[in-house]
């Protein structure tokens, strides 16, 4: 933007961004009869150790636009510490809206040593109508965490709906903090992308566990979401998702391929049992995570407004 020949910058507040998000979400939701959620996630305020009152003030500020736009439900997601998500749920419940809550944890539990099962129980007791796991781990690691959550909820006689939104990256080698500890994070994760067949397997297993809110987080592409819809089409009332007319299920379109060995792949059994290669001869099958073990309250997590200096980068790299 030029003002009197000088480059100017327009300030974009959180409220303006959230309003734009609501406008876009409404436009898309109206096309397919979808629900709209307003979401909040972990805060630098919590990681910096500023306490409950300051953290909840941030949450209340963030949800004002969502409430004004009358979204269908509110979502607290991507929390590494159950204490913070409890604080978030308390604020969201003040609105009277349905509340979903999930944590970016694996089977080991949160970053302060609270088990996955106890995290689920505490989210439910805080008032969440839907609880689960999102991000940080691959679909099958997330399902292991969800099994622990469900077992603990059943034992406590708590019965919220269950949700899971994993990565679309395979992370069997990730540590407690998930994929952000992997050396490939965040700009070299492509070799880990799940196939659509793996996502279909995940969707089926999630449904059989009792999860009914099944989606995806980082790395998910439209064809992954379509794979979930296709796998569960019968359970969803027998209708297929948008885009299915562009391909044939389970590689059936390969029946018309010119090469006979490719035509032989036009069957579900072939793709269900596929073990895809990476095509990278000198790469290890798994990585060694960094595992710094830094979590809320550590001085290294205290939020700053200025960018990290070259000298600070050198110090971090040396660690």
Q: Which pLDDT tens digit goes with each residue over 144-171? A: 999 999 999 999 999 999 999 999 999 9
Top pLDDT among 129 and 49 is at 129
Q: Is the pLDDT of residue 304 over 90?
A: no
Q: Cα angle vertex 203, ends 199, 207, to 5°?
A: 170
- Please calculate the CA angle 269-234-199 and round it to the nearest 5 degrees: 50
pLDDT tens digit sequence for 119-137:
999 999 999 999 999 999 9
Q: Give the best-scoring range by mean pLDDT among 11-20, 250-259, 288-297.
A: 250-259
d(CA 295, CA 176): 11
Task: Report the percentage of the chain scoring pLDDT > 70.
Answer: 96
- 189, 48, 74, 203: CA torsion to nearest 10: 30
Q: For residue 214, what are its two tokens?
A: 């099944």
pLDDT at site 238: 86
Other CB atoms closer than 10 Å to residue 57's CB: what's the count?
13
- pLDDT digit string (tens) for 55-92? 999 999 999 999 999 999 999 999 999 999 999 999 99
3-state secondary structure of 261: helix
Measured in whole angstroms, the distance separating CA 39 from the mean position of its chain's CA atoms is 12
| Residues 11, 16: Cα–Cα separation, whole Å | 9
d(CA 132, CA 306): 35
pLDDT reported for residue 5: 52
The answer on whether 119 is annotated among ligand-binding residues is: no
Residue of 214 and 296 predicted with greater confidence: 214
Is the pLDDT assigned to residue 108 strictly greater than 70? yes
Instruction: Give the separation between CA 197 and CA 53, rounded to whole angstroms.
Output: 45
Counted residue by residue, the chain has a size of: 319
Q: What pLDDT score does 309 carry?
A: 85
Contact between 147 and 179 (Cβ < 8 Å)? no
7 pLDDT band, cuts 50/70/90, is low
Q: Which tens digits make up the pLDDT trace of 229-278?
A: 999 999 989 888 877 888 888 899 999 999 999 999 999 999 999 899 98
Handedness of CA 139, 145, 149, 154 (dihedral sign): positive
Above 50 in pLDDT, residue 23? yes
pLDDT for residue 3: 47
How do 37-40 and 161-165 pair as beta strands?
unpaired
Question: Which pLDDT value is given to residue 13?
Answer: 84
Please check if 135 is assigned to a binding site: yes
Is 280:199 a contact under the CB 8 Å cutoff?
A: no
**CA-atom Rg of the chain in angstroms:** 22
Residue whose tokens read 């001869």: 281
Q: For residue 37, what are its two tokens?
A: 């959620």
pLDDT at position 303 is 72
Q: For the segment 179-200, what is each residue's pLDDT rounded down to a tens digit?
A: 999 999 999 999 999 999 999 9
The torsion region of residue 210 among left (phi > 0), alpha (psi -120 to 50) and beta comes to left
Whether residue 104 is annotated as binding a ligand: the answer is no
CA 13 from chain center: how many Å? 24
pLDDT at 1: 45
| In the predicted structure, residue 49 carries a pLDDT above the cut 50 | yes
pLDDT average, residue stretch 269-292 = 90
| The pLDDT of residue 97 is above 60 | yes
The count of C-alpha atoms lying within 13 angstroms of the C-alpha of 267, restricted to the half-sphere facing its C-beta, is: 8
Residue 139: how many other CB atoms lie within 10 Å: 26
223-234 burial code (b ≥16 CB/10 A, e <16): ebbbbbbbbbee
């Amino acid at each position: 933007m030029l003002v009197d020949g000088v480059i100017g910058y327009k300030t974009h507040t959180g409220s303006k961004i959230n309003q734009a998000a609501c406008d876009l979400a409404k436009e898309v939701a109206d096309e397919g009869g979808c629900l709209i959620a307003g979401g909040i996630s972990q805060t630098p305020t919590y990681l910096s150790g500023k306490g409950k009152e300051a953290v909840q003030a941030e949450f209340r500020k963030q949800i004002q636009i969502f409430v004004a736009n009358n979204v269908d439900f509110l979502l607290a997601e991507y929390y590494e510490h159950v204490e913070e998500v409890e604080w978030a749920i308390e604020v969201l419940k003040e609105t009277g809206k349905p509340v979903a809550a999930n944590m970016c944890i694996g089977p080991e539990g949160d970053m302060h040593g609270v088990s996955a099962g106890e995290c689920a129980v505490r989210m439910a007791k805080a008032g969440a109508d839907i609880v689960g796991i999102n991000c940080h781990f691959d679909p099958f690691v997330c399902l292991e965490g969800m099994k622990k959550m469900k077992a603990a909820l059943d034992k406590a006689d708590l019965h919220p709906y269950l949700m899971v939104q994993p990565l679309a990256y395979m992370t069997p080698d990730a540590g407690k903090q998930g994929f952000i500890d992997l050396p490939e994070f965040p700009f070299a994760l492509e070799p880990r992308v799940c196939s659509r067949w793996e996502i279909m397997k995940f969707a089926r297993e999630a449904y059989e566990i009792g999860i009914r809110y099944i989606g995806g987080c980082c790395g998910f592409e439209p064809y992954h979401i379509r794979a979930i819809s296709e796998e569960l089409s019968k359970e969803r009332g027998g209708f297929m998702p948008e885009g299915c007319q562009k391909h044939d299920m389970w590689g059936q379109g390969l029946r018309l391929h010119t090469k006979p060995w490719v035509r032989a792949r036009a069957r579900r059994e072939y793709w269900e049992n596929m073990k895809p290669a990476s095509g990278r001869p000198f790469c290890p099958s798994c990585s060694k995570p960094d595992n710094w073990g830094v979590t809320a309250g550590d001085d290294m997590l205290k939020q700053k407004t200025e960018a990290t200096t070259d000298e600070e980068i050198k110090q971090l790299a040396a660690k």
